[in-house]
Amino acid sequence: MMKMSISLSSHICLFTLLCSSLLVIAVGTDAQFSWHGSRANALFIFGDSIFDAGTNDFINTTTDFQANFFPYGKSFLSYPTGRFSNGRLIPDFIAEFAGLPLILPYLHPEFRFNGGANFASGGGGALVETYEGLVVNLKTQMTQFKKLEKQLKREFGDEEARKIVLEAVYLISSGGNDYLFSTSANSVVFQSHSHEEYVGMVIGNVTTVVKDIHSRGGQKFGFVNMGPLGCVPHTRALAGSSGACFGELNELLKLHNRALPKALEKLADELDGFKYSIFDHFNAGMQRINNPSKFGFKEGKQACCGSGPYRGRSSCGGKNGETEYELCADPSEYVFFDSGHPPERANQQYAELMWRGSARVTGPYNLEKLFKRT
């Protein structure tokens, strides 16, 4: 374990465009990867920080919602890419399994379609009000997808663009920030809404986007249910010496995870050709938190990077004005890289479960089946 003392401003990637240009070179532009619809299904990614591949590098926000500085990315390309991890994220592995290159953020200044687009934004929620003005919410991500659809028509023609949208898989991770926001100390949302009503609002916004994508031809969707956010290092740290999970937050997450399958079953009855996959992120995460050695980890509750109890203070890399933070020697030994996000190794395990997991973990379809064209 290393103790770091450093100011955030001294190591934010001052050459963000240079670093992101290097990423383009590393993963290939469409000049190097000519898109042919017969080669692989496209992948479109919506959501929050567990899917954000660098969107927040290119919006007007604060460093609280960015990860474009050391030690983020320390195990991937040797420089920060804006991913909230030491390395690759779940969608990066899904793209690899599907035979696609790394999918760039849609807002990347050198973005060109090479088999997909990533619209996810760290801190983004299904509700517009969640961290409004600092992140890209799900509704706005959908607006960006519509713009891209028009670009595809101009570049490939109407028929090929229609085929891309039809055969693509749409990954969605949305809602976690809405629940974190609603249970923050200054939130008054539950003075006017019950927990059930709030969950209904979140899922309603998600299903509205799903219906919009379907109306444009999309049929295959992959969802991540709410992970155990009440038991991440950040929320444990809030509990003080007890280190207990945040009960109210976890109850909200469980309500969401019971309601989401019902909402998707209803959509399957209503929408022609609609197929979906739900990954049980909550239970997969809790298993690793409670029994880390069973999955090849040494530590399940404390973060690799941060400060305070469980390294749960959001200080990794100097966030929130913190001048000191601790950094472990090997992120792959930890279930959490920072106060709320997994390291590359856990992301790979989750992606493998999403890709070919049984119906008990990922159902009714897994992503491997959704990517097949039958």
- Tens digit of each residue's pLDDT, the chain (374 residues): 656 544 444 444 444 444 554 555 445 443 334 455 546 799 999 999 999 999 999 999 998 999 999 999 998 877 899 999 999 999 999 999 999 999 999 999 999 999 999 999 999 999 999 999 999 999 999 999 999 999 999 999 999 999 999 999 999 999 999 999 998 867 888 888 999 999 999 999 999 999 999 999 999 999 999 999 999 999 999 887 788 999 999 999 999 999 999 999 999 999 999 999 999 999 999 999 999 999 999 999 999 999 999 999 999 998 877 779 999 999 999 999 999 999 999 999 999 999 999 999 999 999 999 998 65
Q: Which residues contact 23 (CB under 8 A, 6 or more apart)?
A: 54, 77, 81, 102, 104
User: By three-state DSSP, how is residue 361 classified?
Assistant: coil
In the chain, the largest separation of any two C-alpha atoms, in whole Å, equals 61
| Separation CA 299–CA 292 (nearest Å) | 6
Q: Which residues contact 345 (CB under 8 A, 6 or more apart)?
A: 296, 297, 331, 332
Residues involved in catalysis: 49, 338, 341
E strand or H helix at 325, and its extent?
Answer: strand 324-327
pTM of the complete model: 0.92
Domain limits, the chain: 40-295+342-371
Dihedral class, residue 260 (left if φ above 0, else alpha if ψ from -120 to 50, else beta): alpha
Of residues 112, 109, 111, 108, the one with CA closest to residue 121: 108
40-295+342-371 CATH fold: Rossmann fold (3.40.50)
